[in-house]
Structures are given as C-alpha cells and as structure tokens.
Amino acid sequence: MKFIVSTNDLLKQLDLVDGVVVSKPLIPILENFLFEIKGGNLKITTTDLETFMTTSLKVEADSDIDIAVPSKVSLETLKNLPTQPVTFSIDEASKSIEINTGNGRYKLTGNEAKDFPKFPELESENSIVLSSKVLLKAINKTIFATGTDELRINLTGVYCQITDTHINFVATDANRLVRVQRKGFKNGFETSFILPKKAMNLLKNALPNDESPVKIEFNSSYAFFSFTGVSLICRLIDERYPDYTAVIPTENPNKLSINRNDFISAMKRVSIYSNKTTNQVRLKIAGSEMTISAEDYDFANEATERLSCNYEGADIEIGFNARFLTEMLNAVDTEEVKMEFSMPNRAGLLLPSENESEEDILMLIMPMMINV
C-alpha cells in the first residue's frame, strides 16, 4: 500500500495538529499521528485523551490505508526535506513505513491504527456559529490573561458565557481580567462552560483570519469546533467559574485618555528599571500629564518618563505590574486607550477608545501597593 503527497502540503497539516501531541504520554500510541486514507482523502488525527484534533488533505493513494505514524520522526524528516512529492509505502503485516524521495529513503515502524483512541461520542445539546475572525479575535484578547495555578484550575481556561443576545469570553488570573462581549445573537438558550487553554492555543494557530464559519457544539463534558476541514474536540474544565462581574467597579470618576503606542513604549523603557520580583511601575496623573516611574532599591536603579494625556478627575498615584499592564495594552487595537480609576487601592479599568458595533471589550487590572 502506498500514497504520494507533497512534503509542503503534508507538513502544513501535521503542524496544525502536532500541538496536541505530548512528550512521554501514559499511553505510547499517543505519540503517533493516526493516518486514515479513504478514497484519496488523508485524515490525520492526534489526541492526548483530553483534546482530539483532525485535519485532512487530498493524496494519491492506491488503496485505503489506516496506520499510526510516529509523530516526532516523521515530522522532523518532512521539515528537513525540500518541497517535493514523496511516496509513503506501508507494509500492512509489519507496519513498516518507508518514505521515498527523489534521492533518499527513510524507514520507520508504525503502529496498529486500531490501538489509537476513538473520538468521544458527542451528543450535542446546543450549538452556535461564529465567524472565524470573531472567534480568533476573542481568543487573542483573552488567552494571555488566563491563570497558570493548577490549584485554581477554574481560572486556567477561557470562560464562555452564552445568553440569548450575546456571548461573553472571559479570562482572569485574579490579578487582571478581560471580558470580550459579542452582541447581535439570537441563541434561544443560555449556558456557560470553561474552555481549556491548550485547546484555545490550538484554535488560535489553526483558525483562518477570515469570515468563514466555525460551528461550536457542546454538551456537559465536551466542546466540538469544526471549520474549513479541521475539527477539534476538547474536554471542558469541570469547575465553577467565579462571579467575575462582582469585581468590576462601576463608579470610576477619574478618567484618562492617552495614545496607546506612546504608553506602551514608555512602559517598556521604564519597566527595565523596576524591581525584577514585583515589576512595579507607578502612574502619577495630574492635569494633562502622566508620570511613569519605577525603581529598584536593591541596585539603586530608577527611571521616570512624562507623557501628555487627557484626564478628568482628582490627582492620583497608583501602582501596577508593568508586564500585566503592557500585555493588556498590546491586546487593544485602537490608537487611543482609556483608563478609569476610583482609588489607588481599587481595580482600574482599561478600555479601547471605541468599540466595534457588535463588540464590547473591558479589561480590569488590580493595583499594587506603593511603597512610600
């Protein structure tokens, strides 16, 4: 049995699903790509038992083939070959796989396809359809704010909250929070679930930045994403998400507007001089000027920059983690950004200067105690 495929075409598809594969899995078969060829269509599947991902492409095949192919060896081989047609010859009895190029031959041993885990049966309770561009944007603007503490596993994913009229994508690590709200829906139901970070990263790398539709089906255990020849099933995080709305301040009399790129550039320069443990920077805002400062007393380092801004409210001095604030600023698309404060010991809001008609983005960051 054999099939012929372009190295470039195959490598593109393998790169899409290779992120699912884990090193040193509990079950050795999980280190493989599952190749299934039917009628000249090659379907490639990977899984870590929590996430299942498939993609497909057309190949020239002389018969239907099912075999598990070692992922690391095959991927490294293809990466180091120039773009050209290659022939995969498979011995059904020994599971031997031979990759032949114009002037080379590479032999490896595959595994039984029947040993590869089966896709979970998805009895879909509900589904929604989003454009790929909308979903990709929601992931890009939330995933960086997810937590990493395995003791608070409910914060390690992106919370998806579906109502009859809109969808909220929420992420928080308890130090900052991002909520991306998409409006203009008529879902006819309400539900919520937590999507794991690994699956979101896989989608981030696979989703096209266009208007192609993405169908999302889900039940109490799994979410299923399907788009442009790719499908992904992930197990949901079976935890309760905190009431994030309770921490969003509603009374913020102090309002700032500033050029986003100038703010980011100044933050990057000044934060070089911050304490490497706390990453703290101070924002002192008075009149039409914001002063950004940082100091590291251990090494007698300090830096200060002044920026012009538009500000309404009482003079305020507030401290933030520079890395957190910079990541949030990078996630905003508008030329100007707005910040809203109440007091130096309460959360501040970071907002785009304006939102798209069907979108509402809100970011929250907790302040740091300033050492006087």
Phi, psi of 5 (to 5 degrees): -150, 155
Q: What is the pLDDT of residue 370?
A: 81
pLDDT per residue of the chain (372 residues) written in tens, 0 to 9: 899 999 999 999 999 999 999 988 989 999 999 999 999 999 999 999 999 999 999 999 999 999 999 999 999 999 999 999 999 999 999 999 999 998 899 999 999 999 999 988 877 778 999 999 999 999 999 999 999 999 999 999 999 999 999 999 999 999 999 999 999 888 888 999 999 999 999 999 999 999 999 999 998 899 999 999 999 999 999 999 999 999 999 999 999 999 999 999 999 999 999 999 999 999 999 999 999 999 998 889 999 999 999 999 999 999 999 999 999 999 999 999 999 999 999 999 999 999 888 999 999 999 998 865
Write the DSSP assignment of 79-131 as a string of letters.
HTSPS-EEEEEEETTTTEEEEE-SS-EEEEE-B-GGGSPPPPP---SEEEEEE
Q: Return the pLDDT at 372.
A: 55
pLDDT of res. 44: 98
Indicate the pTM of the whole model: 0.93
Q: What is the pLDDT of residue 185?
A: 85
Q: Which pLDDT score, from 0 to 100, does residue 90 have?
A: 96
User: Among all chains, which residue has been given the structure tokens 């031997």?
Assistant: 96
Domains in the chain with CATH codes: 2-115 (3.10.150.10), 126-246 (3.10.150.10), 248-365 (3.10.150.10)
Name the H helices within the chain: 7-18, 71-79, 132-140, 197-206, 260-271, 322-330
DSSP of 278-310: T-EEEEEEETTEEEEEEEETTTTEEEEEEEE-E
Q: Are 334 and 354 in contact, with CB atoms under 8 Å apart? A: yes
Judge contact between 309 and 316, C-beta under 8 A: no
Looking at residue 121, what is its pLDDT? 81
CA distance linking residue 292 with residue 285, whole number of Å:
9
> What is the Cα Rg of the chain in Å?
25
